[in-house]
Amino acid sequence: MRALTLALFTSLLGAPLLAQAPPPPVVAEVTATAIPGVIAAGTKVEVIKGGFSGTEGPIGMADGSVLFTETQANRITRIDQDNNLTTFLENTNGSNGLAFDAKGRLISVQTTPGKTLIGVIYPTGQAATLSDNFDGKPYGRPNDLVVDRKGGVYFSEPGPNATPGQPPPTPPLTPAVYYVPAGGKSMRIAEGIARPNGIQLSPDEKTLYVNDTSGEYLLAFEIKPDGSLGNRRNFAKYPTVTQPAAGGFNSGADGLAIDNNGRVYVVSLGGVHVFSPTGDLLGTIPVSLQAQNIAFAGADKKTLYIVGRGAAFKVRLLAEGYKGRAK
């Protein structure tokens, strides 16, 4: 009997374990440590709500509320300053990143397969396509955008998302950054970035920042008078980067924001990392889930909204978001 029990125990040890599904992510309030001039010690990162159908593209409104895209639900949702939720817009053509231009028009990157474009989506009745191709080839899955003072649109094109268990899709265009001058034709202005994602302008609009989800560094480019780019440099190294077995890097770098002092806020693995205007890491704002995108909002623009993995959070800061444009 003892031998039989031992044999059974030994066989169980050698048997392959059944794959366990990962536990669902926990949406929870967390507490931040101090970052001088940015956030006070003990500040809570407040949970607004979980269970959204995709969470991307937040942007502050003039009334202090914030919009974000529920990409899987094909809608834009509004959060007011009391955390009340309403639907702002339905049937958004898979909108992801959002930005306002100087005319108050809401521009989005629109990602429905076969209908990818950069265009005006609001006010109702004013929809317009700004660009839906480069040199006759459609965009694969544009991601984020920012609008400059001249009305030109910078946007990132990382290519289509991979489907688990399927071979990687062949993108119609290689990953790149584009610029659409006001009333003009799309220009390809930066290549050689593994997976360009979040995109942001410095307050003086002399520098364009680009996150690389598959890289080690947040990139910075000098902006030329015609909107094109030069002088590419590694602006800051992400504090947490993994190296997948297949090779390369994974930073998880996604959304970007900027404050009135020129500090750069970067969503990547480990939370929201805050860098000085010269690229020094000042500290990290923790989030209970892996975040995807961020935006300053509120009447004084001192509330940072954080979205990701179907949840929305907000945290009160000492720093003030840049007030020269909505994003």
Please name every residue paired with 68 in a beta bridge, in sequence order, or none if there are none: 77
CA distance 38 to 294: 15
Phi-psi region of 298 (alpha: psi -120 to 50; beta: other; left: phi over 0): left
- Quick one: what percent of the chain has pLDDT higher than 90? 86
In a domain, 14, yes or no: no
Could you tell me if residue 7 is inside a domain? no
- Mean pLDDT to the nearest integer, 274-293: 97
Assess if residue 12 is contained within a domain.
Answer: no
* pLDDT at position 8 over 60: no
Q: Residue 322: inside a domain, yes or no?
A: no
Tens digits of per-residue pLDDT, 196-250?
Answer: 999 999 999 999 999 999 999 999 999 999 999 999 999 999 999 999 988 899 9
CA distances from 264 to 67, 69, 84, 170, 238 (A): 21, 22, 28, 33, 12
Domain count, the chain: 1
Q: Is the peptide bond before 123 cis (omega within 30 degrees of 0)?
A: yes
What are the residues whose beta carbons fall under 8 Å from the beta carbon of 169, sequence distance 6 or more? 140, 159, 160, 162, 163
Instruction: Confirm if 39 and 30 have CB atoms less than 8 A apart.
Output: no
Asked if 309 and 301 touch (Cβ cutoff 8 Å), the reply is no
CATH number of the domain residue 258 falls in: 2.120.10.30
What is the pLDDT confidence band of residue 21, given thresholds at 50, 70 and 90?
A: low
Helix (H) or strand (E) holding 4: helix 2-14
Closest among 95, 45, 34, 43 to 70, alpha carbons compared: 95
3: in domain: no
> Is 38 a member of any domain?
yes
Residue 18 lies in a domain: no
Rounded distance between C-alpha atoms, residue 293 and residue 116, angstroms: 20
The arrangement of strands across the sheet holding 281-285 comes to 256-258, 264-268, 271-275, 281-285
Structural domain range at position 83: 29-316
Note whether residue 239 is domain-resident: yes
pLDDT tens per residue across span 119-133: 999 999 999 999 999
